[in-house]
Structure 1
Amino acid sequence: MITIDARKCARDGLCVQACPVNLIRMDGGAVPEEIGGAADRCIRCGHCVAVCPTNALDNALTPAEDYRPVPEDRPDAEAMENLLVSRRSARAFRNKPIAREQLERLLEAARRAPTASNAQQLSWTMIRDPQRLDRVRELSIEWMSGNPARSHYVETARQGRDVILRNATALAVVHGPADYLWTAIDGTIALTYMELLAATMGLGTCWAGLVTAASAAIPDLLPALGVPAGNKVGGAIMLGHPRLKHLLVPPRNAARVTWL
Structure 2
Amino acid sequence: MPLFTIDPNKCNRDGLCAAECPVGCIEFIEGELPGPHEKKQSYCLNCGHCVAVCPSDAITLERLPAKSVRLDRSLNISWEQAEQYLKGRRSVRFFKDEPVPEVVLARILAVTEYAPSGHNARPTRWSVATSRDKVAELAGAVVNWMRFEVDRESPVAARLHLAGIVRAWDNGLDLVCRNAPALAVAYGPEAGVTPREDGIIAVTYLDLAANAVGLGGCWCGYLMAAAAHDSGLRSVLGVPDDGAVYGAIMLGKPARRYRAIPPRPEPDIQWLY
The TM-score normalised by the length of structure 1 is 0.91
2:232 pairs with 1:231: no
Name the counterpart of 1:87. 89
**Equivalent residue for 1:41, pick from 40, 43, 54:** 43
Name the counterpart of 2:153. none
Matches within 5 A, 1:102-251: 102-145=104-147, 146=150, 147-149=157-159, 150=161, 151-251=163-263
Judged with a 3 Å threshold, the aligned counterparts in structure 2 of structure 1 residues 244 and 57 are, in CA distance, closer, same or farther, namely closer
SS state at 1:238 partner: strand
Name the counterpart of 1:13. 15
- In structure 2, C-alpha distance between the alignment counterparts of 1:180 and 1:252, rounded to whole Å: 36
Name the counterpart of 1:70. 71
- In structure 2, C-alpha distance between the alignment counterparts of 1:130 and 1:29, rounded to whole Å: 61
CA-CA distance at 1:169 after TM superposition: 0.7
Preserved CA contact (<8 Å) 1:16 1:32: yes
Name the counterpart of 1:259. 271
Which stretch has the larger CA shift, 120-129 or 140-149? 140-149
Judged with a 3 Å threshold, the aligned counterparts in structure 2 of structure 1 residues 168 and 50 are, in CA distance, closer, same or farther, namely same
- Cα RMSD after superposing both structures: 2.0
- In structure 1, C-alpha distance between the alignment counterparts of 2:137 and 2:235, rounded to whole Å: 10
Counterpart amino acid of 1:163?
A: L
CA-CA distance at 1:117 after TM superposition: 1.1
CA-CA distance at 1:7 after TM superposition: 4.7
* CA offsets 1:134-179 (integer angstroms, 9 cap, x no match): 3321222233342123133233333321110011011001111122
* CA offsets 1:174-222 (integer angstroms, 9 cap, x no match): 1111223422211121111211121122211100111011101011111
- In structure 2, C-alpha distance between the alignment counterparts of 1:243 and 1:185, rounded to whole Å: 31
Which stretch has the larger CA shift, 218-227 or 128-137? 128-137
- In structure 2, C-alpha distance between the alignment counterparts of 1:208 and 1:32, rounded to whole Å: 48
Between the two proteins, the alignment pairs up a number of residues equal to 259
Moved >6 Å (runs of 4+): none
Gaps of 5+ in 2: 151-156
Judged with a 3 Å threshold, the aligned counterparts in structure 2 of structure 1 residues 41 and 240 are, in CA distance, closer, same or farther, namely same
Counterpart amino acid of 1:238?
A: M
- In structure 2, C-alpha distance between the alignment counterparts of 1:108 and 1:4, rounded to whole Å: 27
Counterpart amino acid of 1:180?
A: G
Judged with a 3 Å threshold, the aligned counterparts in structure 2 of structure 1 residues 13 and 203 are, in CA distance, closer, same or farther, namely same
The TM-score normalised by the length of structure 2 is 0.87
SS state at 1:220 partner: helix
CA-CA distance at 1:20 after TM superposition: 0.6
Which stretch has the larger CA shift, 72-81 or 29-38? 29-38
Judged with a 3 Å threshold, the aligned counterparts in structure 2 of structure 1 residues 220 and 108 are, in CA distance, closer, same or farther, namely same
Gaps of 5+ in 1: none
Name the counterpart of 2:52. 50
- In structure 2, C-alpha distance between the alignment counterparts of 1:200 and 1:3, rounded to whole Å: 36
Counterpart amino acid of 1:165?
A: C
- In structure 1, C-alpha distance between the alignment counterparts of 2:223 and 2:110, rounded to whole Å: 23
Preserved CA contact (<8 Å) 2:118 2:193: no
Percent identity between matched residues is: 36
CA-CA distance at 1:6 after TM superposition: 4.0
* CA offsets 1:77-135 (integer angstroms, 9 cap, x no match): 21111110001011111221111221111112122222211112121111124443233
CA-CA distance at 1:247 after TM superposition: 1.9
